[in-house]
């Protein structure tokens, strides 16, 4: 099948069994059955085995495939295994490597049946009988067994899992179920309850039977009567089928999946952390919750022998008998949070919106749901799922994102200060993240671009400094001339609503440590301000504002001013920028001047800067939110500049080690220094990104570079085609060498920039004046004159012109003015093309 039909090995095999006579399914049940079957096949890359004919349960499978084909282009591998003796229009199917039309309209007067046209492949089994089913049963079971032995994961030796799906069916279906359960290893069986006949009987037995296949006497008699009525059996036949049914029920607790395959809350927590990304830490994966979870549920059910079932049940009941009101046990004070996350992961949008409307922290819940839906949509598109799934998840993400923006807008209109406080409040139930951090993780641009978010970011950027104009110049002046810090204005605690709880506690501790100053002057000023209230409102308000600013300015101690100045993010940024510029200047100096045997003072400063930068990167890794070191490193490497910094630091370290060695390693180290400084200049783009004018251009250039790579690939094809043809014509007798790769691209590359070598293209006059009397030409010179004509159209896309005489001819046995080596010795040693005033724009 994989060779003849070019099919990929399935990751799952779904074998559908059921009634062969036509029957009706309830509309809702039919919809659930069709969607579930298609979803299981699409998400796992499964094969579906059916009986192949257009009757009974196979017709319902065909209807589900038809609905899927009308909505999506993805094709599901559905293989019908049918007996040859019951197929109508058999003569149309006879042939080898031929294509024939087949009539899928059944004849109501015929006892035969047609094949279902929605299947992708068919296997027809013939045992010589006509009009009888059963010829395909043995072949189908052997084929399923053979496919299950194929390894889809050679590392762990995992074969293709097989699952049987039962819909309706007759007495033979119950026997098939028993055969599946007795197989080695047993095959899981999924029964569609409510579809009728055998499926309902199996579901009834599974629901009311006890362990070991035992059932109550009253229910036993009821089940026997049901079997008799359903299949029009006698009492003896019903009892025989009842025994088969109870043998199936003995396997009801059987599971052939290893314990690692069982999904627990801890596994769900890992999924949530993966979808949220970054440093998010789910409550389900924390150590305290994992310990409680394992204590409550104990060992896995299959890990305990069945003969100790009663004791196991008692122990399990004792473990789950807990007091949910106990604060040591109750880890879910906000159950609507967990319910909403569950609904989002299950792709139940209406239910998720319902849970979002209840409970606390609505903005955080909306942002978390937005991020989860967006991450699941990305995973769905990466795994080649149905396009509708990815589009639906993106739509759900936009809905939750819009809710978050509307809630933020409404909060901002009601109270600006509280809205900013809401954005910076640390949410203990969401990994101590803030709403602003969740919005950044979800890449919710509309939320971040909101006026409230922008004002908050501006205030956080300035710290406690109160600046309106020329903030950069004032900060630089404060750094270079520290006494100027005293002239700067600072905010008090009331003007900083965005502070987190940790910053607020730290600020209170600092204020408590400082001694209280006399407040006599302050009281007098307050009395004066109160007396001024009766005057003109406009004038008094202006004076009041001025007095308040001055009082705030005087209330902040000198030490506090210095601390707040150097702790402001804008000051830290300018400190880093000035230090970085100084570092670059020193790096320029050491690569431009002669390198001595031992490093100079300037070079030691540069080495110290790189060394401290490496220590800072290690601190960033260790101080990140994830618990495990490997996870910390993964989160840190997700940032582009962190990866490039790591490469640059390692490259500089290699250059420093070589530089400390004797020649010729010292020269190699200097070359590495020269290459390494290129990156540190490019690193300035990250600093420019902070500027409101340069930042957008940096982002545009970054995106443009990504798009330009596609044009480079196209240009490379044209360049290589011209270069290979040119090299082959000029040098027909070259020996194998790696220099050939260089020669293919070297001259054509310069042609891209407008260097056309015009003086070497038209050699007509040179040929006439320098032709030897013998009339003999070297082969390479003759072929070189032919280059411009056949290769002209190829060179047009690059904006260049081919030239015949751009390399020395090594084949001429006599002096020839056409050869650059013989005509101009200086040109033969020139490896760089002459400059040209023509450039391709």
pLDDT in tens, 323-356: 555 555 556 778 899 999 999 999 999 999 999 9
- The verdict on 646 and 675 lying in the same domain is yes
pLDDT of 176 over the 90 cut? yes
Does 797 fall in a domain?
A: no
Q: Where are the alpha helices (DSSP H) in 298-442?
A: 309-320, 335-345, 349-357, 362-382, 387-414, 416-424, 435-441
pLDDT of 82 over the 80 cut? yes
- The verdict on 453 and 419 lying in the same domain is yes
The per-residue pLDDT for 545 is 52
The per-residue pLDDT for 494 is 62
More confident residue, 437 or 538: 437
- The verdict on 380 and 405 lying in the same domain is yes
The per-residue pLDDT for 757 is 65
User: Which residue bears the tokens 């032709």?
Assistant: 771
Does 791 fall in a domain?
A: no
- The verdict on 681 and 715 lying in the same domain is no
The per-residue pLDDT for 797 is 46
pLDDT in tens, 105-122: 877 788 889 999 899 999
Helix 217-231 with 197-208: angle, nearest 10 deg: 170
The per-residue pLDDT for 492 is 72
pLDDT of 365 over the 90 cut? yes
Give the residue from 409, 435, 462 where a domain finishes.
Answer: 462
pLDDT of 76 over the 50 cut? yes
- The verdict on 402 and 280 lying in the same domain is yes
pLDDT in tens, 139-175: 999 999 999 988 876 666 678 899 999 999 999 999 9
- The verdict on 7 and 114 lying in the same domain is yes
Give the residue from 147, 167, 187 where a domain finishes.
Answer: 167
pLDDT of 616 over the 50 cut? yes
The answer to whether 164 and 177 have CB atoms below 8 angstroms apart is yes
User: Which residue bears the tokens 């004509």?
Assistant: 789
**Complete DSSP assignment for 774-824:** T----HHHHHHTTSHHHHHHHHGGGT----S-SS--S--SS--TTSHHHH-
362 band by pLDDT with thresholds 50, 70 and 90: very high
197 band by pLDDT with thresholds 50, 70 and 90: very high
More confident residue, 85 or 813: 85
The answer to whether 111 and 88 have CB atoms below 8 angstroms apart is no
**Complete DSSP assignment for 596-665:** -SS--HHHHHHHHHHHHHHHHHHHHHHTSS-SSHHHHHHHHHTSHHHHHHHHHHHHHHHHHHHHTS-TTH
Alpha carbon distances (Å) from 298 to 231, 294, 314, 315: 44, 5, 12, 9
pLDDT of 787 over the 70 cut? no
- The verdict on 714 and 685 lying in the same domain is no
Least confident among 108-117, 385-394, 533-542, 614-623: 533-542
More confident residue, 96 or 518: 96
Query: Residue 419 belongs to what domain range?
Result: 268-297+329-462
Give the residue from 462, 487, 504 where a domain finishes.
Answer: 462
CA distance 382 to 474: 50
- 158-159/151-153 β-pairing: antiparallel
- The verdict on 681 and 723 lying in the same domain is no
The per-residue pLDDT for 2 is 82
The per-residue pLDDT for 690 is 82
- The verdict on 660 and 734 lying in the same domain is no
The per-residue pLDDT for 618 is 92
- The verdict on 717 and 630 lying in the same domain is no
* Nearest by Cα to 182 from 250, 131, 266, 82: 250
Does 250 fall in a domain?
A: no
The per-residue pLDDT for 513 is 52
Tally of domains within the chain: 4
pLDDT in tens, 572-590: 999 899 999 999 999 999 9
Least confident among 122-131, 427-436, 710-719, 772-781: 772-781
CA distance 224 to 136: 30
The mean pLDDT value for 249-262 works out to 65
* Nearest by Cα to 752 from 800, 807, 797, 801: 800
pLDDT of 794 over the 70 cut? no
* Nearest by Cα to 730 from 783, 768, 789, 678: 783
The answer to whether 191 and 227 have CB atoms below 8 angstroms apart is no
The mean pLDDT value for 597-611 works out to 91
130 band by pLDDT with thresholds 50, 70 and 90: confident
Does 81 fall in a domain?
A: yes
CA distance 510 to 519: 19
The per-residue pLDDT for 501 is 52
The per-residue pLDDT for 431 is 84
Grouping H, G, I as helix, E, B as strand and the rest as coil, residue 345 is helix
Does 488 fall in a domain?
A: no
Please, what is the average pLDDT of the chain?
A: 78
Q: Residue 288: which region, alpha, beta or left (left: phi > 0; alpha: psi -120 to 50)?
A: alpha
The mean pLDDT value for 451-477 works out to 85
Does 404 fall in a domain?
A: yes
Other residues' Cβ atoms within 10 Å of the Cβ of residue 420? 23
- The verdict on 623 and 729 lying in the same domain is no
- The verdict on 56 and 5 lying in the same domain is yes
The answer to whether 806 and 791 have CB atoms below 8 angstroms apart is no
pLDDT in tens, 239-252: 999 999 998 888 87
Does 469 fall in a domain?
A: no
pLDDT of 478 over the 80 cut? yes
pLDDT in tens, 655-707: 999 988 888 888 888 899 999 999 999 989 888 888 888 888 888 988 888 88
Helix 569-592 with 665-682: angle, nearest 10 deg: 150
Q: What is the 3-state secondary structure (H, E, C) of 536-569?
A: CHHHHHHHHHHHHHHHHHHHCCHHHHHHHHHHCH
Does 119 fall in a domain?
A: yes
CA distance 603 to 155: 51
Q: Where are the alpha helices (DSSP H) in 1-83?
A: 27-44, 56-71
Helix 171-181 with 235-249: angle, nearest 10 deg: 30
* Nearest by Cα to 123 from 204, 47, 190: 47
Structure tokens at 753: 């920039």
**Complete DSSP assignment for 118-173:** T-SEEEEE--S-SS-S-TTHHHHHHHHHHHHTSEEETTTTEE--EEEEEES--HHH
Question: How deeply is 587 buried, as exposed, middle or buried, from its count of CB atoms within 10 A (0-12, 13-18, 19+)?
Answer: buried
500 band by pLDDT with thresholds 50, 70 and 90: low
pLDDT of 743 over the 70 cut? yes
User: Which residue bears the tokens 């003007």?
Assistant: 495
Alpha carbon distances (Å) from 449 to 370, 446, 815, 823: 16, 5, 74, 68
């Amino acid at each position: 099948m994989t060779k003849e039909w070019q099919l990929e090995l399935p990751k799952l095999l779904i074998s559908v069994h059921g009634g062969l006579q036509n029957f009706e399914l309830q509309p809702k049940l039919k919809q659930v059955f069709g969607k579930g079957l298609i979803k299981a096949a699409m998400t796992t890359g499964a094969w579906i085995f059916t009986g192949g004919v257009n009757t009974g349960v196979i017709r319902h499978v065909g209807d589900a495939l038809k609905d899927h084909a009308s909505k999506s282009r993805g094709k599901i591998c559905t293989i019908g295994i049918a007996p040859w003796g019951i197929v109508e229009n058999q003569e149309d199917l006879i042939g080898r490597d031929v294509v024939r039309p087949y009539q899928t309209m059944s004849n109501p007067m015929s006892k035969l049946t047609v094949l279902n046209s929605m299947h992708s492949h068919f296997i027809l089994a013939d045992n010589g009988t006509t009009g009888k089913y059963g010829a395909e049963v043995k072949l189908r079971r052997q084929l399923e067994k053979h496919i299950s032995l194929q390894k889809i994961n050679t590392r762990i030796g995992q074969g293709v899992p097989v699952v049987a799906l039962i819909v309706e069916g007759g007495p033979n279906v119950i026997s098939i179920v028993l055969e599946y359960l007795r197989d080695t290893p047993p095959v899981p069986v999924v029964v569609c309850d409510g579809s009728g006949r055998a499926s309902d009987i199996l579901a009834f037995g599974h629901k009311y039977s006890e362990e070991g296949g035992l059932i109550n006497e009253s229910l036993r008699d009821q089940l026997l009567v049901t079997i008799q009525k359903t299949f029009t059996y006698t009492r003896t036949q019903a009892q025989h089928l009842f025994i088969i049914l109870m043998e199936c029920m003995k396997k009801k607790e059987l599971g052939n999946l290893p314990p690692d395959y069982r999904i627990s809350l801890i596994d769900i927590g890992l999924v949530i952390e993966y979808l949220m990304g970054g440093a998010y830490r789910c409550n389900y994966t924390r150590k305290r919750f994992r310990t409680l979870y394992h204590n409550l549920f104990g060992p896995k059910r299959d890990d305990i022998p069945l003969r100790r079932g009663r004791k196991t049940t008692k122990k399990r009941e004792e473990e789950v008998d807990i007091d949910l009101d106990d604060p040591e046990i109750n880890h879910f004070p906000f159950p609507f949070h967990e319910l909403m996350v569950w609904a989002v992961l299950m792709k139940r949008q209406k239910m998720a919106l319902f849970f979002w409307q209840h409970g606390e922290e609505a903005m955080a819940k909306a942002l978390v749901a937005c991020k989860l839906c967006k991450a699941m949509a990305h995973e769905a598109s990466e795994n080649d799922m149905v396009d509708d799934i990815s589009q639906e998840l993106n739509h759900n993400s936009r809905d939750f994102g819009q809710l978050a923006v509307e809630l933020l807008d409404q909060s901002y209109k009601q109270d600006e200060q509280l809205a900013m406080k809401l954005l910076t409040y640390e949410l203990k139930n969401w990994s101590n993240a803030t709403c602003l951090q969740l919005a950044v993780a979800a890449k919710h641009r509309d939320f971040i671009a909101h006026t409230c978010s922008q004002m908050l970011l501006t205030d956080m950027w300035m710290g406690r400094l109160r600046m309106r104009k020329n903030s950069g110049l004032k900060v630089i002046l404060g750094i270079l001339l520290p006494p100027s810090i005293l002239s700067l204005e600072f905010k008090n605690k009331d003007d900083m609503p965005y502070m987190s709880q940790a910053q607020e506690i730290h600020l209170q501790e600092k204020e408590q440590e400082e001694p209280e100053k006399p407040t006599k002057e302050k009281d007098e000023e307050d009395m004066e301000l109160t007396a001024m209230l009766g005057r003109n409102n406009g004038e008094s308000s202006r004076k009041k504002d001025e007095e308040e600013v001055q009082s705030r300015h005087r209330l902040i101690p000198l030490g506090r001013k210095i601390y707040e100045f150097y702790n402001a993010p804008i000051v830290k940024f300018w400190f880093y920028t000035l230090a970085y510029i100084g570092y670059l200047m020193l790096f320029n100096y050491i690569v431009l001047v002669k390198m001595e045997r031992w490093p100079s003072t300037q070079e030691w400063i540069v080495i110290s800067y790189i060394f401290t930068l490496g220590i800072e990167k290690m601190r960033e890794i260790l101080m990140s939110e994830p618990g495990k070191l490997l996870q910390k490193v993964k989160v840190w490497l997700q940032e582009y500049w962190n990866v490039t910094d790591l490469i640059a630091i390692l490259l500089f370290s290699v250059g420093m080690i070589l530089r400390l060695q004797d020649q010729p390693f010292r020269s190699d180290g200097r070359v590495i220094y020269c290459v390494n400084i290129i990156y540190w200049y490019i690193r300035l783009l990250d600093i420019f990104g902070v500027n409101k004018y340069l930042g957008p251009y940096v982002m545009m250039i970054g995106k443009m570079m990504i798009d330009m790579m596609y044009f480079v690939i196209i240009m490379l094809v044209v360049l290589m085609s011209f270069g290979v043809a040119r090299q082959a014509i000029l040098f027909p007798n070259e020996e194998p060498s790696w220099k050939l790769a260089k020669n293919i691209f070297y001259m054509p590359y310069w042609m891209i920039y407008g260097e056309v070598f015009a003086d070497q293209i038209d050699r007509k006059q040179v040929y006439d004046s320098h032709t030897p009397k013998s009339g003999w030409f070297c082969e390479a010179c003759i072929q070189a004159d032919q280059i411009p004509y056949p290769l002209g159209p190829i060179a047009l896309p690059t904006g260049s012109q081919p030239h015949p005489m751009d390399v020395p001819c090594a084949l001429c046995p006599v002096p020839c003015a056409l050869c650059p080596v013989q005509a101009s010795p200086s040109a033969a040693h020139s490896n760089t093309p002459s400059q040209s005033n023509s450039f391709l724009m």
